[in-house]
């Protein structure tokens, strides 16, 4: 049996009442705050680079800014998972379970 991939949660930049969420760079800020959560931990020193964690990445989907959060983040750091999900709840953002289909 093959292990199933962790599900992905899409936090959309649209509030529950349909209004765009502000500030406009919210997705990049949220993903940036989670950038240290990486497979194998954060690499410091001369080999370190600025980039997003594969567990929490900003994307624009259908013209809407989103943050795609892998459920694997919950296994790695439950407090980080709670932070991201509480951010969505506190700001009344729309959250959807889905999976991202890569471009061909």
Q: Where do the domains of the chain lie?
A: 8-36+53-95
Q: Give the integer Cα–Cα distance in Å for 44 and 82.
A: 25
Mean local confidence (pLDDT), 59-69: 95
CATH tag for 8-36+53-95 (out of 3.30.70.80, 3.40.50.150, 3.40.50.720, 3.30.70.2340): 3.30.70.2340
Please state whether 76 falls in left (phi above 0), alpha (psi between -120 and 50) or beta.
Answer: alpha
* Tens digit of each residue's pLDDT (9 = 90 or more) over 29-41: 999 999 888 776 6
**Number of neighbours of residue 47 by Cβ within 10 angstroms:** 6
Q: What is the number of other CB atoms lying within 10 angstroms of the CB of residue 13? A: 22
**pLDDT score of 65 more than 80:** yes
pTM for the whole thing? 0.81
Q: Which of 77, 35, 80, 78 is nearest to 58 (CA)?
A: 35
């Amino acid at each position: 049996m093959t292990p199933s991939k962790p599900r992905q949660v899409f936090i959309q930049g649209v509030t529950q009442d349909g209004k765009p969420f502000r500030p406009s760079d919210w997705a990049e800020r949220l993903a940036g705050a989670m950038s240290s959560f990486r497979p194998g931990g954060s690499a410091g020193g001369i080999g370190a680079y600025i980039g997003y964690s594969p567990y929490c990445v900003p994307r624009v989907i259908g013209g809407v800014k989103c943050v795609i959060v892998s459920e694997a983040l919950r296994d790695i750091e439950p407090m980080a998972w709670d932070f991201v999900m509480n951010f969505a709840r506190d700001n009344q953002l729309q959250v959807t379970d889905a999976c991202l289909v890569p471009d061909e």
